[in-house]
Amino acid sequence: MSEKVNASNVNLKRLEKTYHSSKISSFLPKLLVSPSFVAMVVFIYGFIFWTIWISFTDSKLMPNYKFIGFANYISLFKEPRWWVAFKNMFIFTFLFVFLCIISGLILAILLDQKIKGEGVLLTIYLCPMAISLIVTGVAWKWILNPELGIERLVQQLGFAKFQFRWLVDSNLAIYTVVIAAVWQSTGYAMALFLAGLRGIDNSLIEAAKVDGANIFQIYTRVIIPCLRPVFLSCVVILSHIAIKTFDLVMALTKGGPGYATDVPATFMYSFAFNRGRLAIGAASAVIMFIIVISFIIPYLYVERDGGK
User: What is the 3-class SS of the chain, one letter each residue?
Assistant: CHHHHHHHHHHHHHHHHHHHHHHHHHHHHHHHCCHHHHHHHHHHHHHHHHHHHHCCECCCCCCCCCECCCHHHHHHHCCHHHHHHHHHHHHHHHHHHHHHHHHHHHHHHHHCCCCCCHHHHHHHHHHHHHCCHHHHHHHHHHHHCCCCCHHHHHHHCCCCCCCCCHHHCCCCHHHHHHHHHHHHHHHHHHHHHHHHHHCCCHHHHHHHHHCCCCHHHHHHHHHHHHCHHHHHHHHHHHHHHHHCCCHHHHHHCCCCCCCCCCCHHHHHHHHHHHCCCHHHHHHHHHHHHHHHHHHHHHHHHHHHCCCC
- How far is residue 138's CA from residue 251's CA, in Å, rounded to a whole number? 6
Q: What value does the mean pLDDT of the chain take? A: 84
pLDDT tens string 179-198: 999 999 999 999 999 999 98
Tell me the range of 14-28, 33-47, 124-138 where mean pLDDT is highest: 124-138
Q: What is the pLDDT of residue 271?
A: 92
Nearest to 283 by CA among 80, 69, 88, 91: 69
Q: At 253, phi and psi to the nearest 5?
A: -130, -15
**In the chain, % of residues over pLDDT 70:** 85
Q: 259 has which bridge partners?
A: none
- How far is residue 87's CA from residue 261's CA, in Å, rounded to a whole number? 10
Q: Is the pLDDT of residue 2 over 60?
A: no
Q: What is the pLDDT of residue 32?
A: 55
Domains of the chain, residue spans: 2-71, 80-304
Structure pTM?
0.83
Q: Say which CATH superfamily domain 80-304 falls into.
A: MetI-like (1.10.3720.10)
The answer to which of 23-37, 218-232, 243-257 has the lowest mean pLDDT is 23-37
99 vs 162, higher pLDDT: 99
- 8-25 average pLDDT score: 49
